[in-house]
A and B are shown apart, each in its own frame.
Chain A
């Protein structure tokens, strides 16, 4: 029997997420975020972690089934994120998946959260529409989120090589921390992205991280510290809206530039024809525009998921990775032995 309909669960960090997919079609994609809707210029409380997941996991799964208009007999397998992520959060999702697998007698799949981000552009909407007609291997994955910044090469689906990653802060983290220095609240990264288009990106001179480094690794903590020193020199009374726009634009320009330098280096070192973008920071329009410019010059196709909801943490992307894993019949053999892998990585 070919596995098609999958219930997926992701509890890797702040989000409690469940989704139902049929093949590559997303039938439902439900996310309960522990970070309350962002209020610009206000404090936001990241309400941690275990208790919230425990409370929300059941209702989120129910909602995913209901929105997809499926019942338990329709579900053929259950998938859960095994890592990477926060151990106690991952544990909740895995425990729930095990319970449901035993209760309804469904096979189980353990998924790498980052493979989910990588394969998210392969998701199709409920009409079966998606951005990709044909995959041309090898594919480069540029995965940029709050917790990760990675360049990954996919030789075929299920076969990956980590080419480079951040050595310190993730790009999304740098956005949030610089936002904090600008008193933009938490998570302030999206506020910077909103302010930047109105600002002058050349107003403040900041160092481009890892510009002369020939590896495919990233580093953003030096940029963060450079921002701190730059800001210390500017008197508070000058920190008006115009200033916020200019500083946001300058910071964003430099951070994106450093990612583009690594993308160009990856193109030279590991020729590929397609690049898939995944992770929450891909919501940053300047980053996507610059990636597209570089790709066009090098005759490379760029693909993003069909919806922004597949960029930030979600379970539908887990369903896509699970669909391929089911085709390869890589089910969990011994459910009792399945455990979280908080530091799971591409080999």
Chain B
């Protein structure tokens, strides 16, 4: 089943709020699944802002920063799941080949209760399909684009 929706946000705050609302709808599924947010969109289109919103919803206190340099940031979270889940913030901007994605051990991150967010997911499409095949995951795809300096267009696709 595929659901498509397009939303415009008028500020970084609105992009964060959208993330909070979106993840709230799927929190129940964390009990049995790994939630994956696959984000696409050019530089400055609001991807990291969206991830900040997810972090807020999961009550992560640490600052959610861009993981471009380190490739992966890990933030443990305790809400609402118990025991704790792990929030993986992945960034493929620096990667040149989709295979490099495997090196990041995405397969190990995919566990029920964990949330994985991938910025520049378009760079790793094929690998993402491969590693999630047959696993208990909920993948939510988001495409970010600039409308003007303040406004962003965000296209959401939910997949089972």
Contact flags (1/0) for A82-93 with B, using CB distance below 8 Å? 001111100000
A225 within 8 Å of B by Cβ?
yes
Chain A residues near B146: list those with CB within 8 A. Answer: 228
Q: For the complex, give the distance between the alpha carbons of A59 and B63 in Å.
A: 37
B82 within 8 Å of A by Cβ?
no
Contact A165 B70 (CB under 8 A): no
Tally of A interface residues using CB under 8 Å: 39
Name the interface size band of chain B.
20 to 34
Question: Do A221 and B71 contact each other (CB < 8 Å), given the known contacts A49-B100, A51-B103, A228-B43?
Answer: no
Chain A residues near B63: list those with CB within 8 A. Answer: 165, 167
Q: For the complex, give the distance between the alpha carbons of A86 and B105 in Å.
A: 11
Q: For the complex, give the distance between the alpha carbons of A152 and B105 in Å.
A: 32
Q: For the complex, give the distance between the alpha carbons of A49 and B69 in Å.
A: 12
Chain A residues near B70: list those with CB within 8 A. Answer: 12-13, 84-86, 147, 342
B7-61 interface (Cβ within 8 A of A): 42-44, 48-49
Contact A147 B43 (CB under 8 A): no
Contact A88 B43 (CB under 8 A): no
Question: Do A49 and B62 contact each other (CB < 8 Å), given the known contacts A173-B68, A224-B43, A343-B75?
Answer: no
A157-191 interface (Cβ within 8 A of B): 165-170, 172-173, 176-177, 180-181, 186
Chain B residues near A343: list those with CB within 8 A. Answer: 62, 73-75
Contact A181 B43 (CB under 8 A): yes
Contact B44 A221 (CB under 8 A): yes
B94 within 8 Å of A by Cβ?
yes
Contact B72 A46 (CB under 8 A): no
Contact of A169 among B66, B71, B94 (CB under 8 A): B66
**How distant is B111 from chain A, measured CB to nearest CB, in Å?**
15
Q: Which residue of B lies closest to A220 (CB)?
A: B66
Chain B residues near A45: list those with CB within 8 A. Answer: 96
| B contact set with A: CB distance below 8 Å | 42-44, 48-49, 62-63, 65-66, 68-75, 94-96, 100, 103-105, 146, 149
| CB-defined A-B contacts under 8 Å, sample of 30 | A12-B70, A13-B70, A13-B71, A45-B96, A46-B94, A46-B95, A47-B96, A48-B100, A48-B103, A85-B70, A86-B71, A87-B72, A88-B104, A146-B69, A147-B69, A168-B48, A168-B65, A169-B65, A170-B68, A170-B69, A173-B69, A181-B43, A221-B44, A224-B43, A225-B149, A342-B70, A342-B73, A343-B62, A343-B73, A343-B75
| A contact set with B: CB distance below 8 Å | 12-13, 45-51, 84-88, 145-147, 165-170, 172-173, 176-177, 180-181, 186, 221, 224-226, 228-229, 342-343, 345
